[in-house]
Structure 1
Amino acid sequence: MSTSAKALLLSAGLALALPCSGALADDSVANLDAGGLVLGKNDQIELRAEDVFLSAKQIRVAYRLYNKDDKDLPLAVSFALPDITGEQDLAVAIPDPGSANFLNFQTKVNGRQTEATLEQHAFFTPDGGQETEITDLLKGLNIPLMPLGDATVAAIRQLSAEDRAKLTSTGYASIEGDSVTPLWTLRSTFTRQQVFPARKEVLLQHSFTPSVGTASGVYFDKANLTGESLAQYQKKYCTDDGFLRAADLLTKRIAEAKAKGGEMPDDLKAQQTYFGYAIAKDSLGPVGRFDLTIDKAFPDNLVSFCADGAKKISSTRYELKKTNYTPDRNIDVLILDKHVGK
């Protein structure tokens, strides 16, 4: 892990995180950062604790919220999934594109599974123009709101020429021969009405499958990762000299194995894996106790993320503990995974 990091990097809002090196583009899948609890406006709810667990398999977050008021407070509790836009320079990792709940988001209140209402809307923004909501149009044409995925493309192909023109003439979709590209953006938010009892604490727990970006191979050799690309990696993931040396050695071993030909050894079938967790802008102020745990899955995987004071607590896990802490930027995790597909 990067021990020379200056601060924990937590990024406000939800952002698309793309690989920084141009060498990655042909074999890359981008990730989408999700996260962040948003409450209705109030000044009586105190965020006593926030526990965040990050891994490439699952993200879990637990919030302990205390109502300081002498009366019960009914408030809207929201969790925004990342925006999904149809046209991307890179493929985007979506755990379950066929489901409206494409990150498999689940929520609990005081340890009990509970339901939240998923609201989804589609928007189109032309270059230099104003945003337009097109949710009703797409639903009227029986087109899924998810702009990525085979189901949406198939639905557009089945439209009549007249209905298809409703999408192409407005720029909502591009159709060239057999190529169909939806160009709108899907916004999704889970919301529930939660009553916070007077002078009591409520435990809210969220879990979801992260959008995990990947890039085949390792690009930390001096020929590929230099200049601006190196600076971006260092800023985003706090890749220090020790991490880069280990990654450079792995890259050279992969190159030597390829030169010899034959089957690549299992421990050299490596790829970059990256994912993140975002903090909503409208936070509740300082967290009384903030605990972050990051799991790299296998002991021999290389991992880097930005943290000041994080400690290794097991062969695969790192932990950061803060008090009276105000996160303001993204948690970005880079893993050089030596166990592809496991």
Structure 2
Amino acid sequence: MFRALLASLLLATPALANDGFGGLSATGLTFAQTDAIAMEREDLFIGLDRIRVAYTFRNLTAQDVTGEVIFPLPPISLQFLMSSDFNMGADRDNIVGFTATVAGQPVTPRIDRIAVIEPPYDENRPAAEHYDTPGRDVTAALARHGIPLSLDTAEIATLLLALPPEAQAELKSEGMADFYEGDPAQGFPPEAWPLWSVVIRYHWTQTFPANATLDVVHDYENHPPGGIFGWQHPPVDDWAQDYAARYCIDDGTSRAIAKRLAPTDGYGIAYTLAYVLRTANSWAGPIGDFRLTLDKGAPENVISLCIDGIEKTGATTFEMRAKDFTPDRDLDILIVTPTGP
């Protein structure tokens, strides 16, 4: 049995946290390292509000290969939801509107949740680790105290404050919550802060038939992080030079950003999309036929990323194609949009 991971949506925060909003970024279907299944085709579409991936897999063996396909969101920090804006709708079972088809037929995945305590923040932590090793599992501990795995932070805070003192002390000692007495006389009520994150996982059992191909398509809502963004050409600040390196902002793109933002005093909104491509390397051999389509959302938006061979195909779209493609880096995509007068 092989375990397939449809590992996706890595939590990220904007560079200018005080003027930004958190969000989700993404990756695609991966399999535990195997020589049995090859990825013949990957057709990846990334837009500001939607991601769609179509695959053709081939089982290279004379035996059926069966495993659990999993699509986990990265840890969603309740503490971050309480303290910052977040590019995501209300809590719901299928929080990103995930859909999938196998051989043209819809799949109904099971959806479950776990709670984790994430490792300390490290800006150099590889993106893939957010879903490979999300943190210490504390699901059972929360269940003992009757705390649901909800993203409704007001509900969770109310439940935490209603716990007896010994339960609050236990959660605090385990690094799962903080409690503050406040000063009701001064208008500051007691507070409770959950310190765990919720991982939402979609999964289903899938068989790859022997000596045959299988088409798998999935798509979901994209909720990337971003924030207020200022730019001048040439970039002089350290953070701007870091952005230029991370997103391969060349001289022409830098001038284009400055020109687009000039009517609004050099400020707009930037979205920072991340997509983990290197998970494709867990399949047998390279991707036979790879196509990447990017949609920047509006003609006036400016897009920048580090990838070779990308060409403009429409007013808002760009495309890159490759044969026998082995990704050697993940995608970091910057989309800058003017905010209007």
Shorter-chain TM-score category?
A: 0.7 to 0.9
Matches of 1:102 and 1:62, distance apart in 2: 21
Shift of residue 164, structure 1, vs aligned partner? 2.8
**1:109 pairs with one of 102, 107, 114:** 102
Gaps of 5+ in 2: 1-6, 122-134, 183-189
User: Which residue identity does 1:204 align to in structure 2?
Assistant: V
Deviations 1:243-298 (A, max 9, x none): 21122234432129xxxxxxxxxxx8x42122222236462141001111111111
Question: Which secondary structure state, in structure 1, belongs to the residue aligned with residue 175 of structure 2?
Answer: coil
- Could you tell me which residue of structure 1 aligns to residue 13 of structure 2? 18
Out of 50, 60, 65, which is 2:42 matched to?
Answer: 50
Residues 190-230 of structure 1, C-alpha deviations (whole Å, 9 max, x = no match):
222111112211111111112221213x311269x534312
Partner of 1:145: 149
- Cα deviation for residue 13 of structure 1 reads 8.0
Counterpart AA for 2:302: L
Q: Give the aligned length.
A: 310
Q: In structure 1, how many angstroms separate the alpha carbons of the residues matched to 2:252 and 2:212? A: 47
Report the alpha carbon displacement of residue 97 of structure 1 after superposing the two structures with TM: 5.0
State the partner residue of 1:286: 286
The 1:164/1:99 distance shift into structure 2, 3 A limit, reads farther
Partner of 1:275: 273
* Alignment equivalent of 2:76, drawn from 84, 96, 119: 84
d(CA) in 1 for partners of 2:93, 2:170: 24
**TM-score, L = length of structure 1:** 0.79
2: CA distance, partners of 1:323 / 1:289: 5
**Relative to structure 1, is the Cα distance of residues 40 and 171 closer, same or farther in structure 2, using a 3 angstrom cutoff?**
closer
**Residue 221 of structure 1 corresponds to which residue in structure 2?**
232
Query: Aligned ranges for residues 324-339 of structure 1 at < 5 Å?
Result: 324-338=324-338
Deviations 1:139-171 (A, max 9, x none): 233323256743333332343444333322322
**Deviation, structure 1 residue 94:** 4.9
Letter in 1 for 2:248: C
Measured in 2, the distance between the counterparts of 1:171 and 1:68 equals: 47
Distance 1:156 1:324, change over 3 A: same
1:194 alignment counterpart: 206
Deviation of residue 72 (structure 1)? 1.9
Q: 1:253 to 1:126 in 2, by over 3 A?
A: closer
- Asked if the contact 1:103/1:209 (under 8 Å) is kept, the reply is yes
Q: Is the 8 A contact 1:13 1:280 kept in 2?
A: no
Q: Residue 239 of structure 1 is aligned with which of 225, 228, 249?
A: 249
Ranked by relative contact order (alpha carbons within 8 Å, sequence separation 6 or more), the top structure is 1
Q: Within 1, Cα distance between the matches of 2:216 and 2:153?
A: 32
**Partner residue of 1:301?**
301
Q: TM-score, normalised by structure 2?
A: 0.80
Map Cα deviations across residues 87-115 of structure 1 (whole Å, 9 max, x no partner).
Answer: 44973635245124332222211122112
Identity among equivalent positions (%) equals: 29
Contact 1:60 1:207 in 2 (8 A): yes
Partner of 1:265: none
3-state SS of paired residue (2:211): coil
Range that drifts further, 54-63 or 40-49: 40-49
The question of whether the paired residues in 1 share the 8 Å contact of 2:8 and 2:73 is answered with no
Aligned to 2:26: 34
